[in-house]
Structure 1
Amino acid sequence: MTVKDDDHNIGKVLWGICVEDKSFRFSKGDYICTSKLVEINPKANLIKTASGSTYKVIGEGRKASIDYCDFELLRNGFNPEQINALKTATLQH
């Protein structure tokens, strides 16, 4: 997920659903939105964040982008489709 401010990329984060967590920070099914990504190893499906966490991802995933002003919605459990729907509904009113 690319976070943008106007047309400038601020950074990338990972968001998804926990399948397994050996550190016991998350339960199966928990929503996760990471800190800024600092390293991506596509061959090993590993992602390292600025806070020092490492995540092993499953599947192909999807690329998406979000405006910085909407980032807190992402951190609070809204997915990109829900955020876009909220923005569209707000603009229509």
Structure 2
Amino acid sequence: MATTTVYNWIIVSVYDRYDQHDHNTFVGKVLYGFVLDDQTYRFAPNDYVTSSRIEKCDLKRGIIETHSGSVYVLHGTGTDAAIDFRDFELLRMGYSPIQIAQLNTASNGMIH
């Protein structure tokens, strides 16, 4: 099985609010990180990657399987974060959850 090994990884929980009166609703989790090694030949070393929705997560073994069937090996220590669904495209474009939070604070949400 070909895997992608990532470092500086973050498990990102995505939340959405359907209207202004709704509470945040959990949508799913994705993996964000930087490529150390890629046996699938999709990514170059040090590229960022944002996975599809996480289906299986074994942090003790350091393995994540996604909805699209990709398998990621976690290298080193990672963290977790949360973003709004409206910011998901920024994550897919390579912005980290920290950068997204900074953009939202600096623009007071005006980029959406």
Higher fraction of strand: 2
TM-score by length of 1: 0.94
Matched, 1:4 2:15: yes
- Residue matched to 2:49: 32
Work out the CA distance in 1 between the residues paired with 2:102 and 2:59: 31
Matched, 1:70 2:87: yes
Structure 1 unaligned residues grouped into runs of 5+: none
TM-score by length of 2: 0.79
Higher fraction of helix: 1
Structure 2 unaligned residues grouped into runs of 5+: 1-11, 18-23
Q: After TM superposition, where is structure 1 displaced by more than 3 Å over at least 4 residues in a row? A: none
Structure 1 residue 89, shift from structure 2 partner? 1.1
1:82 to 99, 103, 110: 99
1:42 to 19, 42, 59: 59
Work out the CA distance in 2 between the residues paired with 1:76 and 1:34: 12
Identity %: 41
